[in-house]
Amino acid sequence: MLATLRQRDFSLLWFAGLISLSGNWMLQIAVPVVIYQLTGSALAVGGMLLATTVPGILFGSFAGVFVDRWERRRVLVVTNVLMAVSILPLLLVVSADMLWLVYVVSFVQSTLNQFFSPAENALLPQLSDPKLLVSANALNALNNNLARLIGPAVGGVVALNFGLGGVVVFDVVTYLVAAFLARLIRMSAHPRQSEAAATEVSVRKIFHEWKEGIQLIWRERTVRTLFLYNILTSVGESIIFVLFVPFISTVLGGDSLHVGGIMSAQAVGGIVGGLLISSIAKYFKTYRLLGISSIIFGLVDLALFNYTRFFDGIGIAYIIMIVVGPLAVAIGASYNTLLQSKVDNAYQGRVFGSLNLTFSLFMLVGIAIAGFASDRIGIVPVINIQGYVYILAGVASLLLLREKPAVQPVIAAPELAKSDG
């Protein structure tokens, strides 16, 4: 782990992500609370989820084309600055009639993230020793969990004393600090072509480059399998997103304090997992780490959703969620490592962008299943789907990836393998 963090450029990216994500978690806690206080409507809160999901469908795949054209470090700097500017309108939200600004800001922020997320995932392997790539991705997952603990706690204090405006100003600062740290990264990570070629824009050329990325996904077995994995787990994740609070309150008999506590328990487990996986990942083949972790993750989820049939006490849920944390880190680190290692850097923006698209699309499928089926057959049978899809995805990973455990980069097409001139 320490060897990974000693890589200067990677550590700058890591700290930039930690700071920015902490600010994001502050806002994610404060804004839904403000919406509900102003409207008293759960539907109004749901509108924010819709506003953040739609950009992934509209722009996710095509944003990756531009990420593969632009210098990735610059993308991180510019998107952080634009995110800082784009949340300033939230300072005007003081009554229900200004609520539309929340949806506009959520839409813009999610749109910018369609560029930021693929750029970060494509840049990370350029800043790390290939032998330490699983460790680097595990540490990246670690800062997500650290932010999940730090952000809500700090956000609660700031919101209590300064209101939504204080949270917005704090988040603006985190974005600007993250942009500054990203700017300090020394490596220039231009994916493939000259500056002149990167600025050449035509609908035909953009569509051609987008099609190349889609063809790569279907041509390469490992990438195709990982997209299948993403489809399955997107449905499961959206179901638990919708039903987690009803499950805690209705099945476990917990209140809002328990909802936050159980979410924090997973974050604690994730922190432990980030440290653990970054240290032991070198002893496992990456595809096996993904498959086995996914199967165990699904089984642990099923234990969480069904333990009340045999035992009483909400405390068991806390223990199970701590166990979930390291498994989630192992899944995320191994999944990203397989994609980053298998896909040539010139295509990574498009591949990660297409992942955002498929995730958003199948999130909607899961939301629909959870909304309609839970009222008809109950919360537990529907939320169990999350456990089943992770087990299925894990088995598929072990079966479909085992014949080619050695991960080699895809050779770029000759016309794309140009130097920066």
DSSP for 36-51, written as a single string: HHHH--HHHHHHHHHH
Contact 381, 77 (CB under 8 A): no
Of residues 240, 173, 228, 171, the one with CA closest to residue 28? 171
Tokens 């140009």, located at residue: 418
Q: What is the CA radius of gyration of the chain?
A: 21
Q: Residues 6 or more apart from 103 whose CB is under 8 A from it?
A: 47, 48, 51
Parts of the chain with a pLDDT under 50:
194-198, 405-407, 410-421
pLDDT at position 43, please?
A: 63
Please give the Cα distance from 162 to 9 (Å, whole number).
35
Ordered DSSP codes for 50-94: HHHHHHHHHHHHHHHHHHTTS-HHHHHHHHHHHHHHHTGGGGG--
Of residues 223, 397, 380, the one with CA closest to residue 294? 397
Q: Per residue in 99-117, pLDDT tens?
A: 888 889 889 988 888 888 8
Structure tokens given for 57:
């469908």
Q: Where are the alpha helices (DSSP H) in 184-285?
A: 195-199, 203-219, 221-246, 256-280
Please give the Cα distance from 348 to 190 (Å, whole number).
12
Q: Residues 6 or more apart from 89 whose CB is under 8 A from it?
A: 101, 104, 105
Q: Residues 6 or more apart from 186 whose CB is under 8 A from it?
A: 8, 9
pLDDT at position 69, please?
A: 75
Ordered DSSP codes for 325-394: HHHHHHHHHHHHHHHHHHS-GGGHHHHHHHHHHHHHHHHHHHHHHHHHHHHHH-HHHHHHHHHHHHHHHH
Q: Which CATH number is 2-184+203-401 given?
A: 1.20.1250.20
Contact 348, 340 (CB under 8 A): yes
Our CA angle for 236, 240, 242, nearest 5°, is 120
pLDDT at position 302, please?
A: 93
Burial 23-32 (b: 16+ CB within 10 A, else e): bbbbbbbbbb
Query: In degrees to the nearest 10, what's the CA dihedral of 198, 120, 355, 191?
Result: 30
Q: Per residue in 272-303, pLDDT tens?
A: 776 777 667 667 788 888 899 999 999 999 99
Distance of CA 64 to the CA centre of its chain: 15
Structure tokens given for 381:
């049978």
- Domain boundary assignment for the chain: 2-184+203-401
DSSP 8-state secondary structure symbol assigned to residue 343: S
Q: Residues 6 or more apart from 25 whose CB is under 8 A from it?
A: 147, 148, 150, 151, 152, 155
> What global pTM score does this model have?
0.70
